Structure 1
Amino acid sequence: MTLLSIRSRTTTGDGQTAGTVPLAIAHDYLTQRGGAERVVLALHKAFPDAPIYTTLYNPENTYPEFKDCQIITSPLNHFKIFRKDHRLALPLLPFFSSRLKVDAHRVVVSTTGWAHGFDVPQDALVYCHSPARWIYLTDQYLGNRLNKGLARIFKTMRPFLRRWDRAAAMRLPNYVANSSTIQQRIFDVYGKRADIIFPPHSVQDGQQQEPIAGLEDFMERGYFMIVSRLLPYKNVQYAVEAFSGLDHQLLVVGAGPMLDELKSMSTPNVAFVSNISDAQMRCAYAGSTALLAVSHEDFGITPLEGGAFGKPTIALQAGGFLDTISEGINGAFINTPSVQDIRKAVQELDSQQYSAEAIKAHVKRFSEERFIDQMKARLVQTS
C-alpha cells in the first residue's frame, strides 16, 4: 500500500464513514480563510483522494476549493451558530473533537488546538501551526474584546482545556512545527522536540487577475495592503489608526469580529474588502506598493504572497516573520506594532530600493512543491 493510492469513500447522513482508507487529513475547523486553511489545500493537492475530517465546515466563509473535497464533519456542524463562529462552540469542542474518529490507516493532522485531539492513529503526523493560542497566549489572542459571558466560561474551562490539550499532545509522538517560533513553543508547552517544515505560499504572479468591484479608483492611486483576520492580536487596529492623516492609502483585506469597529475608526484613505477570490487577491497584491504585517504570527505567510509579485513588506520583528523576512531583501522590520512605528515605517519606505526579482527569488524557497515533497518524505519516515 502506498500513500498515493488512496481510495475515495462515502459519507453517511450522520457523519459516519464507510470503509477505512489508507490516508486522511484532519483539521480543526474550515470556517475561515487563512494560512492554516491554505496548508490544508496544499495537503489536499498532495493527497487528492484523502477525505478531510474537521469539526465545522462553512463553505461560504472558507476557500471555495474545499467544495471539491470530501469533507467529514462532527455533529456540531448541524448548528449554524457554530459554523458562523467556532468560538461559541468552545465548551463543546473538547468532547466532540475527542469523539471524531478518523477512519484511516494513516493521518496527517493540521492543528492549532483541536485536530490533534481527534481519534486518530498514534502514528499520525501532526503539523502544528501553534499550540492553542487561546489557552497559552490568552491575553494576546483575545485582547479585551471577549464578551463577559464567554469570558466567564473560558476562565472556568481553561484549566480543563489545558489538561485536555496536553493529554492529546502526549498521545501523539510525531510533531512538525511550521516555524522556528512554533518549534520553541511546542517544546515549552509540550516538552516535544519537533523539526520544521515551512508552510507554502500558493499565490502566484502570472495567473488571472480580476479587479475588485467598487475599488477601481482607490487601487489606481497605489496603496499599502494588509491581509489578516480581524482579531485583536492581529493589530490591524493600529495600522488603521496609523494611516489617519497620511497621504498614503491602506487596503485591508480580511474578515472577523472587529470589522465594524475598524470601519468606524478609519479615515477615507482606508478601504476594506472581505472574502475576495484568488484572482481578485492577485490583482490586489499586484497593484500594491508594499505589504504590512504587524501581528504576532506563528509563521507569517502574507509577505511571501506579496513577495510573489515582487512587493516588499513592513513586518513586526517577531514570531514567524523572522523566518520569512530577510531585511533589505524583501522587507524591513519595525520594533513594535504601535501607531508611531507603523506610521514612521510607511513614511520612510522607498519601494524603489527593493529589487522585485530578488524578492521573488527569496520567496521561491517557500514553494508549495517544496512543502509537499517534505511532507511526503516525513510521512514515509514515520510509517
Structure 2
Amino acid sequence: MAREPLVIAHDYLTQRGGAERVVLALTRGFPGAPIQTTLYDPGGTYPELRGAEIRTTVLDRVGFLRRHHRFALPFLAAVVSRARIDADVVIASSSGWAHGFRTTGRKIVYCYSPARWLYQPGVYLGQHAALSTRLMLGVLGPWLRRWDRRQARTADAYIACSSVARDRVRAAYGIEAEVVYPPHSYGTDGEERRPAALGGEVDRLDGFDLCISRLLPYKNVDAVVGAFASLSHRLVVVGAGPEEARLRAMAPSNVVFLQHLSDAEMRWLYARCGAIVAASYEDFGLIPVEAASFGKPSVALRWGGFLDTIVEGVTGVLFDEPTPAAIADAVRRCRASSWDAEAIRAHARRFSEEAFLERIGAILERETSALPRRA
C-alpha cells in the first residue's frame, strides 16, 4: 500500500459528540483522507461518517466493545501502540488514545484534554462509580500515565481546543500547545424535524430549556435535572450514558429525556428552546456556540471552556457552582433578561467550520510541505 499523504486518527467512533464533529469537519476539509480509529460503531456515531474510509484495530472485531467502548480501556494502550499509520501527516483527534498511534511521518495532535480518567479520576468517575472501575484505574493508572506522557512526546505539534485544555497539556506533558477552537456545525438553514420520541409531550413543550450532554458524572446533569424541580417550565435532556437510569429515577415530571437524535431533530430543538443549560466541567463549551448560531442564550457554569465561548450578559448567564439552587437562580435570571438574538448569532460566527479549517490548514502547512490539496 502506498504511503498516504494525510490520515485522520481518532480515539473511537462509537458515540456522537463534539470530538466526533471535529472529525466530520476534518473529513470535509481534507476529502478522501482515511480515518484510523480503535472501534467503529456506525449506528452509534454520526451517519455522515459512513462515507469515509474507516480503518480499525483488532478490538473492533468484538461487537460488545463497539457498543460499550469503556470496557476496552485495559486494552487500548497496547493496541494503539502496535498500530502503525503509513502517512506523511497524521492529524490525531485525541482525548486519550489517538496521540499514541505510531506514524512514519509527521504527527499533529488536536487535543480536547489529556485523559480525564487518568489526571482527574475523581471528577470523571464521580461518587457513583463501581468499585471495580476504581480498582482497575488504581492498578493501571501509574502505567497508563507513563504511557500517555511518552506518547505525547512523539507529536511534532500540539493543538489544544481551548485555553483550559492548553493549560492541562502544559501541566500533564510540559508542552506548549496552540489554541484552535473547534467548529460548530449546525447550519440554521437546514431541515428541521420534530423529534418523534417526544410523542405526546410535544404539545406541552412551549418555553422549554435544553440540556445536551453525555450522561457522565462530570457533566453534572443531575444538578440541572434537580434545578428543574423548583422551576415550572420544561427541560429537555438530550444524551445517553451510564448515568441515564439514575437521572431518570430522580427527574421531576417536567423533565423529558431524548437520545440519538438526527441533525434535523436537533435543529428543531435549538430553534424552539428558550435557552440551553450546561453545568459540566467542559474543556470547550461547544453547545453554547451551537445554541448561539440559533440566537439562543446559554446558562452555564463559570468554568473552563465556557469562559471561551460565552460572553456574560451578551450571549448568556453564568453561575458559580453546579448545584440545583445556583442553576435554578441562573435560569430565572436568564428568562427575566432581554436578549439580542443577532448579537448572539454574530458571536457564533467566530467559531465557524471555515475558520477552524483555515487555522488547521495553516498549522499543517507550517509543519510540513506534504499537505494534500484542500477542496
| TM-score range normalised by the length of the shorter chain | over 0.9
Give the alignment partner of residue 286 of structure 1, picking from 267, 271, 281. Answer: 271
Aligned to 2:242: 257
Contact kept, 8 Å, 1:31 with 1:56, in 2: the verdict is: yes
Q: d(CA) in 2 for partners of 1:166 and 1:303?
A: 32
Q: d(CA) in 2 for partners of 1:201 and 1:307?
A: 10
Is 2:340 the partner of 1:355?
yes
Give the alignment partner of residue 228 of structure 1, picking from 196, 213, 217. Answer: 213
Q: d(CA) in 2 for partners of 1:121 and 1:346?
A: 51
Q: d(CA) in 2 for partners of 1:290 and 1:107?
A: 38
Q: Deviations over 1:344-363 (max 9, x none)?
A: 11122236511000000001
The Cα shift of 1:220 comes to 4.0
Contact kept, 8 Å, 1:143 with 1:232, in 2: the verdict is: yes
The Cα shift of 1:314 comes to 0.5
For residues 47-62 of structure 1, the aligned pairs below 5 Å read: 47-62=30-45
Aligned to 1:74: 57
Contact kept, 8 Å, 1:289 with 1:351, in 2: the verdict is: no
For residues 77-92 of structure 1, the aligned pairs below 5 Å read: 77-92=60-75
Contact kept, 8 Å, 1:290 with 1:313, in 2: the verdict is: yes
Is 2:284 the partner of 1:299?
yes
Q: Would the alpha carbon gap of residues 218 and 137 (structure 1) be closer, same or farther in structure 2, given more than 3 Å must change?
A: farther
Q: d(CA) in 2 for partners of 1:279 and 1:325?
A: 25
Contact kept, 8 Å, 1:219 with 1:287, in 2: the verdict is: no
Aligned to 2:149: 166
Aligned to 1:64: 47
The Cα shift of 1:64 comes to 0.7
Give the alignment partner of residue 274 of structure 1, picking from 255, 259, 264. Answer: 259
Contact kept, 8 Å, 2:159 with 2:177, in 1: the verdict is: yes
Determine helix, strand or coil for the equivalent of 1:252.
strand
The Cα shift of 1:267 comes to 1.3
TM-score (normalizing by structure 2): 0.95
Q: 77-86 or 127-136, which moves further after superposition?
A: 77-86
In structure 1, give the amino acid aligned to 2:345: K
What is the total number of aligned residue pairs between the two structures? 366
Aligned to 2:372: none
Q: Would the alpha carbon gap of residues 329 and 82 (structure 1) be closer, same or farther in structure 2, given more than 3 Å must change?
A: same
In structure 1, give the amino acid aligned to 2:7: A
For residues 74-113 of structure 1, the aligned pairs below 5 Å read: 74-113=57-96
Contact kept, 8 Å, 1:334 with 1:341, in 2: the verdict is: yes
Determine helix, strand or coil for the equivalent of 2:343.
helix
Unaligned runs of 5+ in 2: 369-375
For residues 192-207 of structure 1, the aligned pairs below 5 Å read: 192-207=175-190
The Cα shift of 1:219 comes to 5.9
Q: Would the alpha carbon gap of residues 214 and 97 (structure 1) be closer, same or farther in structure 2, given more than 3 Å must change?
A: closer
The Cα shift of 1:194 comes to 1.0
Determine helix, strand or coil for the equivalent of 2:164.
helix
Q: d(CA) in 1 for partners of 2:351 and 2:154?
A: 30
The Cα shift of 1:83 comes to 0.9
Contact kept, 8 Å, 2:87 with 2:105, in 1: the verdict is: no
For residues 365-380 of structure 1, the aligned pairs below 5 Å read: 365-380=350-365
Contact kept, 8 Å, 2:38 with 2:56, in 1: the verdict is: yes
Task: Tell me which of the two structures has the higher relative contact order, counting C-alpha pairs closer than 8 angstroms and 6 or more residues apart.
Answer: 2
Q: d(CA) in 2 for partners of 1:103 and 1:353?
A: 54
The Cα shift of 1:107 comes to 0.8
Q: Deviations over 1:156-211 (max 9, x none)?
A: 00000000000001121300111000111111111011111100000121211000
Is 2:319 the partner of 1:324?
no
In structure 1, give the amino acid aligned to 2:77: P
Aligned to 1:12: none
Q: 80-89 or 130-139, which moves further after superposition?
A: 80-89
Sequence identity, in percent? 46
Aligned to 1:114: 97
Contact kept, 8 Å, 1:52 with 1:72, in 2: the verdict is: yes
Q: Deviations over 1:5-48 (max 9, x none)?
A: xxxxxxxxxxxxx3321111000001111110000000000111
Q: 209-218 or 373-382, which moves further after superposition?
A: 209-218
The Cα shift of 1:339 comes to 0.8
Aligned to 1:217: 202
In structure 1, give the amino acid aligned to 2:305: G
The Cα shift of 1:143 comes to 0.6
In structure 1, give the amino acid aligned to 2:189: G
In structure 1, give the amino acid aligned to 2:138: K
Contact kept, 8 Å, 2:207 with 2:274, in 1: the verdict is: yes
Q: Would the alpha carbon gap of residues 195 and 355 (structure 1) be closer, same or farther in structure 2, given more than 3 Å must change?
A: same
Contact kept, 8 Å, 2:107 with 2:154, in 1: the verdict is: no
Contact kept, 8 Å, 1:107 with 1:121, in 2: the verdict is: no
In structure 2, give the amino acid aligned to 1:20: R
Q: d(CA) in 2 for partners of 1:163 and 1:368?
A: 35
TM-score (normalizing by structure 1): 0.93
Aligned to 1:242: 227
Give the alignment partner of residue 132 of structure 1, picking from 92, 109, 115. Answer: 115
Q: d(CA) in 2 for partners of 1:372 and 1:346?
A: 34
The Cα shift of 1:245 comes to 3.5
The Cα shift of 1:276 comes to 0.4
Measured on the aligned residues, the alpha-carbon RMSD in Å equals 1.2
Q: d(CA) in 1 for partners of 2:336 and 2:294?
A: 13
